[in-house]
Each structure stands twice: as C-alpha cells, then as structure tokens.
Amino acid sequence: MKAITRTAYGPPEVLELKEIAKPIPKDHELLIRVYATTVNRTDCGILTGKPYLIRAFVGLTKPRHLVPGTDFAGQVVAIGKKVNSFQIGDRVWGLHDEGLSSQAEYMTIRENKAVVRMPENFSYQEVVACAEGAHYANNFINKVKVDTSTKVLVNGATGAIGSAAVQLLKYYGATVTAVGNTKNMELLKSLGADQTIDYQKEDFTKGDGKYHFIFDAVGKSSFPQCKHLLLPKGVYISSELGPGVQNLYLPLTTKIKGGKRVIFPLPLNCKKSIVFLSKLLTEGKFRPVIDKVYQPEQIVEAYKYVASGQKTGNVIINFSPSPSG
C-alpha cells in the first residue's frame, strides 16, 4: 500500500511516500481503507517531536509509528474475528491524537477506540475536517460552563481549533467575539460570530470588551495580557504552553488565589468528541472548514503549509483513487 513514512523526528523533509505492507487487523481491530486524512498541528508536533513533552506519548528517542497521521475517514474492508460492532462496508471516521498511522491507504484501529460510523450525506473529506481541531475545541468548552448568557472571545478563530470553537460555542448559545485576519472576516460571521475583530487592524488585548472566557486557539496572547478583559471569575484557556510554559503552572496558582483563572485544556476522550460531532453534523449544527486538499505526493508541501500556522480551518490529504476524492 501507499503510505507516508518517517523513522526519525525532524522537518517535513524526513517524510517519504513509500510502498509498505498493508496492516493485518488483530482480533478486535478494523482494517480501514483510508480515503481522506488531514495534516494538522498535532501531526506537526509529532513530526518534530516538539515540544519535547510530546515524546512521552509518541516515542522518546524516535517516533513509535513508522506512518504518521492522527485522523481518518474511510471504509471498513476487513474485521478481526472478535469485532462485533462494525461490519465490512461501514463508512467510518475517527481520531487518536497520539498517532494512528492514518496517512496511508490502509490503517487498523481497535473497535473500542475513537472510531464511529460517518454521518450520512457527507464526503470523506468533509467529515475528516471535523476531527482533530474540533476535538480540541470541544475540550476547551468542556472545561467550563457555557450557556446563552456566556460571552466568549476566541483568538485564532480561523484555525482548525478556532473555527470549530466558534461553531460549538454558538451551538450552546454563547455570544462570540472572533479574532482573525482581514481576509476571513466574512467566514467568521458565517460560522456564527456575533462580533469580529481583525487582528491586522486592532489588538484585542488592548480593547475594553468583557468576557466570561477567553479562548486563545492560536496561543498568541497570555493571561497577564488578557486578565483585564475577563469578568470576575473569568477563565483564560490557551492552546499553547505560553511564555515560560506559564499556562502549565498558572492553572494551579490562579486556582489557589481565587478570582480570574487559567485552565489548561488537557485533551481527553477523543471518542466522546467524535460521537458528539457526528451528531452535530447530522443535525446541520456544525460544518467543516477546508482550506486546501493535497495528494499524498505533496505531503512535504502540505506539512510545510500547516506548520506555517496560517491555514484556514483544515488541510486534507486525499488518499482516494480519484484525485478529487
């Protein structure tokens, strides 16, 4: 089968498209023909092994898996003899942010992991664009209580996490201020943002808005910069560790002090996110945001683009036989 491979941590150039043996499903596993996967910021972290903390999960000295990739959409083509919740032919999608070897034509996954049947009327590419970023966004939101009286500012609202966060916050009825670049102001409004701030014209940290929560989905601000924008007992959550890894220790110190707080959005339970997102897709309450679609032969270019931090939503790798998916 065709697969993206690498044997060491490094830049996108360590990646190679190769022919390797197709995996064989174990008793509780599904063999999936992958039709679409993504390159996301988690993949970029796993590729370089940075921040170093990530190596505790994906391999200390070298990557644990030959094939990278964290999310997938495809079709079950074989099942292990003890699989009882899926059948050959099922269209499925899922995610595992410690690596799934999904950047290949075929992959295996245990049936009890984060794999579910695809919602109907969506393509593989559309569904896979609702995995990694939306899972992280869901984890931000699950750390706090959001309802129709909640005011939230989302920075980096054009990214995979940010564009999902805006939509999920609107699902819960929050009032959302979305911060993004000039070219994406209309996109942010179409995702449901009540107000937009163009960061190319205005620095939101110098504004006078008041929010219950600030979600920095691009990690370009810090708690000290944003504290004055938070309402009493307001919460700041960032997708990055922050200057001097402050977002790791501020959750503890701000909790002890009381008042405005930082929460670290430790991502948990990929399956719960995938089940929830399938429901929202089916109900028409969530939509994929796709930036570019690359072919496997363009994998180095795709990783470089994603690592630039400038994508809008999600970047897809098309593993279907047809170039258009």
Ligand X SMILES: NC(=O)c1ccc[n+]([C@@H]2O[C@H](COP(=O)([O-])OP(=O)(O)OC[C@H]3O[C@@H](n4cnc5c(N)ncnc54)[C@H](OP(=O)(O)O)[C@@H]3O)[C@@H](O)[C@H]2O)c1
CB of 247 to ligand X, least distance (A): 11
CB of 291 to ligand X, least distance (A): 8
Among 76, 129, 161, 270, binds ligand X (CB under 6 A): 161
Q: How far apart are CA 119 and CA 298, in angstroms?
A: 29
Q: What are the DSSP calls for 19-84, one per residue?
A: E-PPP---TTEEEEEEEEEEE-HHHHHHHHT-SGGGHHHH-SSS-S-SS--SEEEEEEEEE-TT--
Note whether 12 binds ligand X by CB under 6 A: no
Note whether 199 binds ligand X by CB under 6 A: yes
Note whether 159 binds ligand X by CB under 6 A: yes
Note whether 70 binds ligand X by CB under 6 A: no
Among 156, 234, 251, 265, binds ligand X (CB under 6 A): 156
Among 218, 274, 277, 289, binds ligand X (CB under 6 A): 218
Q: Give whichever of 64 and 257 is closer to ligand X, judged by the CB atom.
A: 64
Note whether 191 binds ligand X by CB under 6 A: no
Size of the site for ligand X (CB under 6 A): 28
Note whether 198 binds ligand X by CB under 6 A: no
Amino acid in the structure at residue 166: V
Taking CA atoms, 144 is separated from 59, 71, 215, in Å, by: 32, 26, 11
Note whether 133 binds ligand X by CB under 6 A: yes
- Residue 266's Cβ-count burial label (10 Å; 0-12, 13-18, 19+) is exposed
Note whether 91 binds ligand X by CB under 6 A: no
What angle (nearest 5°) sits at the alpha carbon of residue 89, between those of residues 85 and 90? 45
* Strand (E) or helix (H) holding 215: strand 211-216
Half-sphere exposure of 76 (CA within 13 A, CB side): 25
- Rounded to 5 degrees, what are φ and ψ at 279? -60, -45
CB of 307 to ligand X, least distance (A): 9
Contacts of 270 (CB under 8 A, 6+ apart): 94, 95, 96, 97, 113, 114, 135
For residues 232-261, which are near ligand X according to CB under 6 A? 239-240
CB of 86 to ligand X, least distance (A): 28
The token pair at 3 is: 């697969």
Note whether 197 binds ligand X by CB under 6 A: no
Note whether 40 binds ligand X by CB under 6 A: yes
Q: How far apart are CA 180 and CA 157, in angstroms?
A: 6
Applying CB under 6 A, the span of 28-36, 84-92, 116-124, 175-183 interacting with ligand X comes to 175-183
Of all residues in the shown chain, the one whose CB is closest to ligand X is 159
Q: How far apart are CA 249 and CA 111, in angstroms?
A: 36
CB of 177 to ligand X, least distance (A): 12
Which residues form the interface with ligand X (CB under 6 A)?
40-42, 45, 54, 133, 136, 155-156, 158-162, 179-181, 199, 217-220, 239-240, 309-312
